[in-house]
Structure formats: structure tokens, C-alpha cells
Structure 1
Amino acid sequence: MGNLRAGIIPVTPFQQNCTVLFDEDTKSGVVVDPGGDVDVILQTVRENGLTIEAIWLTHGHIDHAGGADELRERLNVKIIGPHKDDLPLLSGLEDQARMFGLDMEVRNVTPDQWLVDGDTVSFGTSTFEVYHAPGHAPGHVIYFSREEGFAHLGDVLFAGSIGRTDLPGGDHQTLLNSIRDKVLPLGDEIGFICGHGPGSRIGDERRSNPFLKGL
């Protein structure tokens, strides 16, 4: 990658990859999916001398969005994404916390800007294309930097696996369609970060991920 850098902060009991994307030269960046542990996120931002321009959400599950409203308030920045089909999830984050029996600070949240397929978002000198990729969650979006050959896929595709589809709003075939139509066409050489576990390359997953056989 050029000037684009990514740092991962595992947050919440789900060990979700809260990701800080930033420009190495300008130190401007965004926080992707602040699911919780906001103090830890802020400490990382401060220690690295970063200026956060916005919060980007891939989807509305608690481990990705549970800390977004608090972080927005403390950084005084806007929340961008996901697609508006995740409004019910984001409006029910406190209910999700109770459902999972989580003892963590969670607030329902409404983003400042919804995203749709074909939008672009940017910070510093980096521009990302937005693709609506439902299946794991109805309003899930992914972020793709064509210039850097890098994508943030949230919980759509993992190294060796795919997002679960047994949560409210999930649908297995819809997820496979999203991977086939939105992720694989990005190109085999594209490296990605995902919502849990290590990242990978799209080509490696196309060749070896058992869930992608036949796509």
C-alpha cells in the first residue's frame, strides 16, 4: 500500500476488528466499526497522533456499531454508513446487548449519512468505493480502495469462512450472491481486512475457502 495504513484494535467480547485507517503522511484517518471499548480506541488514536475525520460502519451488529454513538460524541465527527436497510439493527443496539447478555455501554445510533451502492467516501488522499453487500446483515456495505488494492469487507468474507447468516436479517444465499457479485470481481490480488480474525487476499479465498466452491 502507498500512504494508506491500517491498525486493528480488537474490541468487545466478540473480539471484533475495530480498524483505524489512516494516511501515513497527514495522519488523518477514519475509525471503521467501533463496536465498543471506546477508551481503548481513543487511546490508540492519541498515541499515534491521528486526526479522525469520520466513523465508517460496515453494518449494524452490536460488535461493530455498539460504541459508535459514544465515539461520535467524544470525537465530534460524523458516522457514515452503512446502508439504510440496517436502520432496524442500529435502532435496536441496546436490545442486542440484552439479547447477548452483554455488560457493556451501548447506545442505539442513527448515522449522519447512509450509503448506497456506488457511493464513494474519502479521507486524506484516500478514496474508497462503496458496495452494498447484504446477506450477513441487510444493510452491510464494504469499502474498496482501487488505488491501494485494499478492501474492508466487514463480516461478508473471512479468511477461510464467511459471515454467519443465522442472526436477524441474515440470509445465506443473499450473502453468497454478494460475495459472487460484489467481492470476487474486485480482483484476486486485492488484500482485505475483515471483521474478525486475520485478513487475506480475495484470490486465496476464491481458491481455498470451502464456502466459495461453485461461485
Structure 2
Amino acid sequence: MTESVLKDFPAWFLGFAEGQLAGYLHFGAAHHDETIEQLQIAYIKIWSVVEIFSKIIIILADKRTTTKELKPLVENIKRHREKLDEYEKGLIEIISFHESSINDSETNQFKINDVANLKIDLKKISSKKFSVSKSDVFKPALPKKNDLDKAIKVLNIDPPKFSDFLNAADKESKFYTTRNKIAHEGTVDLKKENFIKERLLPILQISLSIRDFASNMSEEQ
């Protein structure tokens, strides 16, 4: 896949990612000695890099899709305008005929055409904004894997393979399940070492890759 630069990618994300990952860049023995509660906090912070990046990707792709869908409407308006010009011309001819008939002593009997029926139905167009300010990006729900994969194709980028960490349309991600158990119950369904190996380290690795991807985009801009 050819990678393109996203000039509208928010500059604040890189600082956000670095802040969330600070202290975990080199996960080692010292972290293994932390309590499960400390590791849960780490997981939530690291997970947020994946979550926020996902939301940004969806917003930027939606903006491009919407713009692409609106452009044909402009051409449609041009066609309507041509028909309106014809309609207007016909009306002016009829008005001229009637005025001539009124002003002359005799009724003019020249041929005049009817104006064909013209219906124009222009649908309401949403002025939806696609803000990627930090406060706006945090609001939407977490996108699903399927939608994210489509968005990546729309943007023509090749980020780290992180969509598998999200829920698919028919299957919940084990990483997201863990995130929810921590956030809502304050627990994890794995023993400490398994939690580190099977959840924390994979989410850390992909988040670091996302951070690096965002950094490369910033440098290209």
C-alpha cells in the first residue's frame, strides 16, 4: 500500500501518545514487581493510545468519504441550473406573448410553446464537522475493526496492524474486554504474569508502533 501523508492529522496526538507511554518505553523487571493495580493503570493508559488513534483515523476517513459523496451533487446542481434556464426562457416567451396581446389592438396568433413541468428535489445536506481537536476526538464511541480497516483503505495509509485489538462486528476483542473489566470492575481475568505477557506487552508494543507512525507523519509534514 502506498503511504500518503495526512496533513490534517492532529499534531497533538504525538505528545498525547508519548505522555501515556512515558515510564513504559522499556518494560522490564521493575515493572513486573509492580502491583496488579499499578499494572492495570498502565494498561488503561497504554490502551488509550490505540483507542484515540482509532477514532482519529475514522474521523479523517469520514471527512474524505463525505467530501467525495458531495462532489457529484455539485454536478447535479449544474444540470438543474441548465433546466432552470430553459424553464425561465419558456416563461419569458409566454409573458412576452401575453403582454403583446394585451398591448396590441389585435390578439397575436403566433405559435407559443408550453413550458414543460420541472421538478427539482435537492435533499438536505448535513454540515457535519470533522474536528480532530482533542476534546472532540475523545467523544465518539470506539470504532469496530471492520470500519477501521475500511477507513485505512480510504486514507491510503499503512499504519501498524492494530485493528485486531478492536472489536470486530461479530466478536469482541479480548484486549477490549480486559480494558472494560479494569475500567468498570477494577479486576482482570488473568493472573499477573499472564496479564503482563498476554495483554499488557502486546498492547504496549502496538502502541509504541502507533506512536512511531505518528512521529513519522509529523516529520514528513
**Structures share fold, TM-score greater than 0.5:** no
- Structure with greater proportional strand content: 1
* TM-score normalised per structure 1: 0.22
Q: Looking at both structures, which has the greater relative contact order when contacts are Cα pairs under 8 Å and sequence separation is at least 6?
A: 2
* TM-score normalised per structure 2: 0.22
Q: Determine which structure has more spread, i.e. the larger CA radius of gyration.
A: 2
- Structure with greater proportional helix content: 2
